[in-house]
Amino acid sequence: MKRIAVENSLTNVKSYLETQGYTVESLESNKDNLKSFDAIVVSGQNSNFLGMHNTETKGSIISAKGLTPEDVHKEIQNRIE
């Protein structure tokens, strides 16, 4: 099962991804463990969303700015599946 970290403000995206079978966790609660996620969904409101400039992650970072939850899901499918 794919693990996705989602910014807390994106509750609609979090809920939708859970209905699609993903394991979804809070981005803010997992800042120190980002390498374990397949994708990270951010709101796009802040370009330095983690407060760091050199954060490493193996997963794709997806900006949800202007996207519906369904659009975010399609992005995840295109990038990690």
CATH of the domain at 20: 3.40.50.2300
Q: Which residue has the tokens 């900006």?
A: 63
Read off the pTM.
Answer: 0.85
Distance, in Å, from the CA atom of 45 to the CA atom of 2, rounded to the nearest integer, reads 25
pLDDT at residue 47, as a whole number: 53
Distance, in Å, from the CA atom of 18 to the CA atom of 24, rounded to the nearest integer, reads 6
CA atoms within 13 A on the CB side of 74: 5
pLDDT at residue 51, as a whole number: 53
Share of the chain above pLDDT 90, in %: 64
Q: How many domains does the chain have?
A: 1
Residue 21 domain boundaries: 3-80
22-44 per-position pLDDT tens digit: 999 999 898 888 889 999 999 98
Query: Most confidently modeled of 11-15, 40-44, 49-53?
Result: 11-15
